[in-house]
Structure 1
Amino acid sequence: MSVEVTNETVWQIDPKLFSDLGLWVMERMQVSTQSDLTILFVDPDPIAQLHMRWMQLEGPTDVMSFPMDELRPGEDGKIMEGVLGDIVICPWVAAQQAAAAGHSTMDEMMLLAIHGTLHLLGYDHVDPVQERQMFGLQRQLLLTFFAVRDQPVPQAELPAGSTDLLAQWDANHASGRNIDKPLNGEKN
């Protein structure tokens, strides 16, 4: 399989949707659908650790990309092939961003998967011109995927009664506590 999707969270996420999305974006960007791409969904603590290790930035983030073969979009009919890399997404952060933007958590996570894929292909948003190009392309890719999809997009769901791990991470770190130390007598 060229797109491997792993969910290490309690969120109920349809892996086939993200596999289909990854293949679809690779095809549009003229990257062989035989190229390898991994999408991993994690909780706030693991992505915060990655964020600190690789970006020297504290706290959970929405998405991180780890390129492998430094593939670039194909041109003039040439299809690029290799190991695209890994994308790590935190549904907890995505849910917070989705609420602020007024759309679903699934829409946000799909946008983040596309954003991560574009980073793997060398796109960036460090200046206003790059940002307009990358954000415009990711929006176009997502809207086109929705338009051509012949079935509804299943929503990501958090099981009832689940602990808000992002709020817990924030509370633990705002008070200088370690996430491994439970709050209010809770067990980890």
Structure 2
Amino acid sequence: MSLQLSWNTEQEQFDISPELIDRLEQLLRLCGEQENVSDGEVALTFVDDEAIRELNKQYRGLDKPTDVLSFAMQEIGDEELEIIYGEDDFEDSDDADGEEEDGFEEPLGDIVISVPRAIAQAEEYGHSVDRELGFLFVHGFLHLIGYDHQTEEEEKAMFGKQEQILQKAGLTR
């Protein structure tokens, strides 16, 4: 039982180094510790602006690129993406501790990050691309577990949590 990160890249603009993945795994552990989330898998995909624009258009009705999108798997609300599995995919596959028989964790959801947006924002804010990717990853994770920033109060709480996690990881501005 643990938090797991799976990732892939569908962009060629920025090399996703093993050190960056190690840092993102550290951030995932820190997020889990801070938010009392000890189990689950987060699927992370690095994309270009065109791919994230298409996803933003399809799922949010906004025909423009954005920096990060999150698709939570744990709760289905009015605006959540419902994932439908085949009838035999998960029947009787959970053991007593909530982990699937084959050792895979239950998915928390997907995070999609636009690398070109991250690079541009890192330049704009005057910090490293790794710091920006870390920020976007933590932001996406907090969305997966139910945080939002629709109101000023929600935004203050969510962004405060993000900064705490980034500070613990040494990713300062």
Please indicate the TM-score interval, normalised by the length of the shorter structure. Answer: 0.7 to 0.9
Find out whether 1:128 has 2:158 as its counterpart.
Answer: no
Unmatched segments (≥5 aa) in structure 1: 72-80, 148-188
Match of 1:52 among 30, 36, 57: 57
Deviations 1:121-166 (A, max 9, x none): 110000100010001110111111118xxxxxxxxxxxxxxxxxxx
Tell me the TM-score normalized by structure 2. Answer: 0.73
**TM-score, length of structure 1 as denominator length:** 0.68
The alpha-carbon distance between structure 1 residues 108 and 139, as it changes in their structure 2 partners (threshold 3 A), is same
TM-fit CA distance, 1:60:
1.1
Aligned twin of 2:16:
13
Mapped contact 2:45–2:112 kept (Cα < 8 A): yes
Contact (CA 8 Å) 1:4, 1:19: kept in 2 or not? no
Assess if the C-alpha contact under 8 Å between 1:70 and 1:120 holds in 2: no
Shift of 1:27: 2.7
Which structure has the greater CA radius of gyration?
A: 1
Would you say 1:84 and 2:111 are equivalent positions?
no
**Alignment partner for residue 27 of structure 1, among 27, 33, 46?**
33
Structure 2 counterpart of 1:127, which letter?
T
Q: Is the 8 A contact 1:63 1:87 kept in 2?
A: yes
1:38-89: CA deviation from partner (whole Å, max 9, x where unpaired): 1110111111000000111111110000000139xxxxxxxxx842101000
- SS of equivalent to 2:169: helix
SS of residue paired to 1:40: strand
Aligned to 1:69: 74
2-structure distance, mates of 1:16, 1:40: 15
The answer (yes or no) to whether the contact 1:5–1:19 under 8 Å persists in 2 is no
Question: What is the aligned length?
Answer: 137
* Residues 28-177 of structure 1: pairs in structure 2 closer than 5 A: 28-32=34-38, 34-70=39-75, 82-146=106-170
Structure 2 residue matching 1:137: 3-state secondary structure: helix
Residue type of the alignment partner of 2:34: R
Partner-residue secondary structure (3-state), 1:96? helix
Contact in 1 for aligned 2:8/2:44 (Cα 8 Å): yes
**% identical equivalent positions:** 37
CA RMSD of aligned residues (A): 1.9
Structure 1 SS opposite 2:149: coil
Give unpaired runs (5+ residues) of structure 2.
77-104
